[in-house]
């Protein structure tokens, strides 16, 4: 697994974007200076659907803070589009995250329990908040779908960090 750490540059990663073009993870679009990258498990995950719907309801709060929200999964284009159609989300979505890229991001990877679940290995949830310097301000990586940050609390935390100049935390790894 890759070594990904707070206050380090987010790995350069560009993926295909639903609707055409590419999405550069870690590089906010014009009008934003921070980016919140949400890695979701895929179309097969009902918890992901609920979580991304919740993100959609808080999208304007993040945008007011200058934070662009993007989502990404290992799903192919058809499944990523079905996910968007089912959830009604309007945030940018990238797809075809490879196992190599999952490892670069330090994500946990799971194999499907059955062909009915999905047809390929997928990333477990990951949440990356990249600051205006292209560095990881906040990192949360989970090995199960049940662990995800509270989105309102995260927005409040980002606001606090930005207003107070609060430093990146957790920059020293345990021995």
What are 23-80's pLDDT values in tens digits? Answer: 999 999 999 999 999 999 999 999 999 999 999 999 999 999 999 999 999 999 999 9
Angle at 168 between CA 163 and CA 171, to 5 degrees: 170
Other C-beta atoms within 10 Å of 49: how many?
18
Cα–Cα distance measured from residue 148 to residue 167, given in angstroms and rounded to the nearest whole number:
22
Model confidence at 2, pLDDT cuts 50, 70, 90, reads low
Total domains in the chain come to: 1
Residue 12 falls inside a structural domain: no
Residue 40 falls inside a structural domain: yes
Domain holding 141, by residue range, is: 35-163
Residue 157 falls inside a structural domain: yes
Residue 8 falls inside a structural domain: no
Q: What CATH number is associated with residue 47?
A: 3.40.30.10
What are 104-138's pLDDT values in tens digits? Answer: 999 999 998 888 778 889 999 999 999 999 999 99
Bridging pattern class, strands 67-72 and 34-39 = parallel
- Supply the pTM of this predicted model: 0.95
Residue 170 falls inside a structural domain: no
Residue 51 falls inside a structural domain: yes
Residue 145 falls inside a structural domain: yes
Angle at 44 between CA 90 and CA 25, to 5 degrees: 45
Cα–Cα distance measured from residue 86 to residue 149, given in angstroms and rounded to the nearest whole number:
22
């Amino acid at each position: 697994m890759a070594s990904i750490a707070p206050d380090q540059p987010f790995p350069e990663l560009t993926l295909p974007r639903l609707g055409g073009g590419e999405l550069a993870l870690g590089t906010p679009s014009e009008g934003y200076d921070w980016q919140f990258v949400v890695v979701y498990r895929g179309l097969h995950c009902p918890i992901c659907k609920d979580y991304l719907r919740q993100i959609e309801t808080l999208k304007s709060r993040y945008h007011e803070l200058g934070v662009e929200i993007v989502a990404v999964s290992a799903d192919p284009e058809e499944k990523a589009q079905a996910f968007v159609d089912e959830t009604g989300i309007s945030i940018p979505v990238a797809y075809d995250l490879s196992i190599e890229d999952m490892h670069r991001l330090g994500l946990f990877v799971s194999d499907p329990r059955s062909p009915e679940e999905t047809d390929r290995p997928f990333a477990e949830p990951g949440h990356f908040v990249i600051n205006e310097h292209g560095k990881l301000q906040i990192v949360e990586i989970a090995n199960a779908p049940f662990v995800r940050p509270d989105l309102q609390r995260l927005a409040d935390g980002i606001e606090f960090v930005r207003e107070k100049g609060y430093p990146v935390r957790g920059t020293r790894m345990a021995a």
